[in-house]
Structure 1
Amino acid sequence: MQSSDEGDDPMPRDDEELKTKKDKYKVLALLGKGGYGAVYSVLRLSDSEKFAIKCENANTCRKALYMDCNVLKGAAQIKSRHFCTVVDQAAVKDRFNFIVMKLIGKNLWDLRMDTPECRFSLGTALKTAAQCLVSIQQLHKFGYLHRDIKPGNFAAGRKESNEHHTIFMLDFGLCREFVKRGEGKLRTQRANAPFRGTTRYAPLNSMLELDTGRKDDIESWLYMVVEWTSGGLPWRKLKASDRDKVLQFKKELRNREDLQEDMFYSCPKKEFFRILKYTDSLDFYATPDYGFVYYCIKHAADANKIKDTDPLDWDPNTPYFGPIEVPGDGAVIELEVENRMSAEGSINKTRKEKGKKNEEKENEKYRTRKRENKKNDEDEKMKNKKDLEAALKKS
């Protein structure tokens, strides 16, 4: 494989050929780039079929790509249609690790922004909401929390593969297992936890730096659904750095009718607020009643005379043919150990070759910062926790 000779960027270059044990791939174009890696479209040279590759710097201490691989292999075990399949995987020594996946279409943020009013029609909003809810329930089924539910982490399939009415869940770098493997028990709730997610959609518990459970993924899902139904959230003009102000908005939403009117503008207010009240009633260990949440969505569709065949906004001339599924009961299954471990092979090979010293140093730095932050923030966290408990009691 080629070595990097263009600056310090270890990521793939246009037209670069990548080799795995199974195939060769030609890099076509950069699709997206984030803090932990990048996604590219590639061409498999053996049959000219297009795929996506997700890459992660080989020297990173974060194991986001390993988590992606584990989650996608778990989804394959339950045969979910809402997750991409891992086709291949490999590493380019000293540069990056990568997995090869199904190539999909635009994410739901971009699809919403393509509409004339930057919001979905109610039929599209509820159909996509139901599909996303099912994918969250399925993720929970094999023991993972997403912790970063947002429109950019869901996408429609490609029209070329006739999957453009199916929604796929993406980006599992912030996922966390909430069960103890081999024991069938839930992890014990942590007294506090670092913020994870995106400020706009983050649940109250995450913003208060409390441990999050399954209910919190559903809370984030609701914020996301409200946004693409109404066109925006009450705190939409605030920046990610304005976390305290966004937190205050979310707290007051539970008790202020004017905020509720703003929040649920052009939405099925009764059904959406019922979902919010329901998630607020759950604790960390609770198994959500996904069927109840789905019923609220279905009731809103029926009340507004929305048919199962009504088209999606991004394919207005075709009757809807995407999946219509009722979420499962919330039971958690045990994944096959062999399948989980097989994800590690080539992806972690480069990291192992670099040794564990750098990772241990970074971990120690993180632990030191965490101790310092905990000492400085302890009083503030206790105050926020009491505020949340008071707000929930009032609601």
Structure 2
Amino acid sequence: MSPRNPRIPDSSNDREIPGVVGNQYRVGRRIGEGSFGVIFEGTDLNRKKAVALKFENRKASVPQLRDEYKVYKILSGVSCIPSAYYFGQEGAYNVLVIDILGPSLEDVFEKSHRKFSVKTVAMLAIQMILRIQSVHEHGLIYRDIKPDNFLLGRPNSSHETSVYMVDFGMAKYYINPKTKQHIPFRERKSLTGTARYMSINTHLGREQSRRDDLESLGHVFMYFLRGSLPWQGLKAANAKQKYSKIGEKKQTTSIKELCGGFPEEFAQYMNYVRTLGFEDKPDYKRLRGLFEQVLEKMGQRNDGMYDWVSQDHGLVCTL
């Protein structure tokens, strides 16, 4: 049985997490953490189902959970976006309650010896492009594409090979909800996202739009295929210099060099997304078609048989 009052570290001292949140959600064991705070497994006492509870210190320098809750409500009912059930304050914390899911793509990548097959990456790409398209169709850009933010469905469920998007704390409108106009192009913007995957334009301080989410996604695909990216492991005196070095390396690494040795469709994807204009609407169907073509050329089907799934559709490893 889970402890009634689990504790999580705070910058100044340990503060207790309540045993029940919102009179409805029982807090169980700690299952993860991120820059915002920590995640606990829990139970919805009314619906008798498992949920995830995200806790964030109310005094956080940039609180994100309230904004994330609003985004989940905007995306309510969208396929493979978890439902959000509750947001509120409990003691020293903001708390967000959402559907509980399975491991992240980063988790299964680690378990797969940090390399995915071309078939697995092509099938993931088709799903991930669909997820990004759904977000964009609601007037939002994501702005923090990374493998950690794509989760599989719960193991042993009918959705265990479905790819979900989570962690919408950095999302923002690229279409003004009132005027329905695209946001204006701006420069000298502070960096938003994860340096390893962010687009070249983001490194250059340019306002992000749909093209940047898709470029970041392309960097994730190549990370999965190669095992690492050419700009990983660069040394610098501080974070600002490191971001600058990563940006420079991205600009000097040709698409041919980045995608060499893999099906040409991966380079075609990168060329397409890097030549999109700031306000251009991406052709998502065309992009998915590239990866359907990869599978077709290999004589493979999009059958959900990923590298980490055994022939009897069970997870190969315990995650």
| TM-score (ref. length: structure 1) | 0.71
CA contact (8 A) 2:31 2:41 kept: yes
Could you tell me how far apart the structure 2 residues matched to 1:150 and 1:5 are? 25
Q: Does 1:138 align with 2:134?
A: yes
Residue equivalent to 1:245: 245
Distance 1:220 1:137 in 2: 14
- 1:267 pairs with 2:269: no
Per-residue CA deviations over 1:328-386 (Å, capped at 9, x if unaligned) read xxxxxxxxxxxxxxxxxxxxxxxxxxxxxxxxxxxxxxxxxxxxxxxxxxxxxxxxxxx
Distance 2:21 2:221 in 1: 40
AA partner of residue 168 (structure 1): Y
Identify which of 173, 180, 185 aligns with 1:184.
Answer: 180
**Cα distance in structure 2, aligned partners of 1:182 and 1:10:** 43
Call closer, same or farther: CA 1:162–1:214 in 2, change over 3 Å.
same
SS in 1 for 2:96: strand
Contiguous gaps of at least 5 residues in structure 2: 315-319
TM-aligned CA distance change 1:230 to 1:104, over 3 Å:
same
Aligned pair partner of 2:112 in 106, 115, 118: 115
- Aligned partner of 2:100 in structure 1 is 103
Hey, what's the Cα distance between the residues in 2 that align with 1:204 and 1:75? 28
Q: 1:77-136: CA deviations, max 9, x gaps?
A: xx322210012232214x1111211111110011011014x2112221111111111111
Long gaps (5+) in structure 1:
321-395
Match of 1:172 in 2: 168
Match of 1:332 in 2: none
Q: Which residue of 1 aligns with 2:274?
A: 280
TM-superposition CA deviations, 1:179-215 (whole Å, max 9, x none): 1112111111123210011111010011111111110
3-state SS of paired residue (1:185): coil
The aligned counterpart of 2:205 is 209
CA distance in 1, matches of 2:9, 2:298: 56
SS of structure 1 residue aligned to 2:75: helix
Q: Which has the higher contact order (CA 8 A, sep 6+)?
A: 1
SS of residue paired to 2:169: coil
Partners of 2:246 and 2:219 in 1: CA distance: 12
How many residue pairs were aligned?
Answer: 306
The aligned amino acid for 2:66 is Y
Q: What is the letter of the counterpart of residue 26 of structure 1?
A: R
CA distance in 2, matches of 1:239, 1:163: 41
Q: Distance in 2 between matches of 1:274 and 1:134?
A: 18
Instruction: Answer yes or no: is the 8 Å Cα contact 2:38–2:56 preserved in 1.
Output: yes
Q: Which amino acid aligns with 1:249?
A: K
Contact kept, 8 Å, 2:36 with 2:63, in 1: the verdict is no
Q: Please tell me the root mean square deviation across aligned C-alpha atoms, in Å.
A: 2.6
**Could you tell me how far 1:265 is from its partner in structure 2?**
4.8
SS for the counterpart of 2:88 is strand
Partner of 1:344: none
Which residue number corresponds to residue 342 of structure 1?
none
Q: Is the 8 A contact 2:210 2:282 kept in 1?
A: yes
Say if 2:143 and 2:171, in contact at 8 Å, map to a contact too.
yes
Contact residue 81 and residue 165 of structure 2 kept, 8 A: yes
Give a deviation string over 1:51-71, Cα, whole Å, max 9, x none.
101122222353411221122
Please give the residue correspondences for 1:359-374 in structure 2 after superposition, counting only pairs within 5 Å: none
Residues of 1 paired with 2:44 and 2:173: CA distance? 33
Amino-acid identity (%)? 24
Question: Which residue of structure 2 aligns with residue 366 of structure 1?
Answer: none
Show the 5 A alignment for 1:3-42.
8-9=12-13, 13=17, 16-20=18-22, 23-42=23-42
Partner of 2:317: none
8 Å CA contact 2:78–2:134 kept in 1: the answer is yes
Equivalent residue, structure 2, for 1:316: 310
Aligned residue for 1:161, secondary structure, equals coil
Say whether the 8 Å CA contact 2:187–2:205 is kept in structure 1.
no
* Separation in 1, partners of 2:229, 2:262: 12
- Greater share of helix: 1
**Distance (Å, rounded) in 2 between the aligned partners of 1:265 and 1:85:** 39
* Structure 2 match to 1:87: 85
Indicate if the aligned counterparts of 1:10 and 1:57 stay in contact, CA closer than 8 A.
no
Deviates more, 1:228-237 or 1:203-212: 228-237
TM-score normalised by the chain length of structure 2: 0.87
CA apart distance, 1:267 = 2.5
Tell whether the 8 Å contact from 2:51 to 2:99 is kept in structure 1 after alignment.
Answer: yes
Higher mean C-alpha deviation, range 245-254 or range 138-147: 245-254
Q: CA deviation at 1:35?
A: 2.5
SS at match of 2:38: strand
What one-letter code is carried by the residue in structure 1 that aligns with 2:84?
V
SS in 2 for 1:173: coil
Query: Secondary structure in 2 aligned to 1:186?
Result: coil
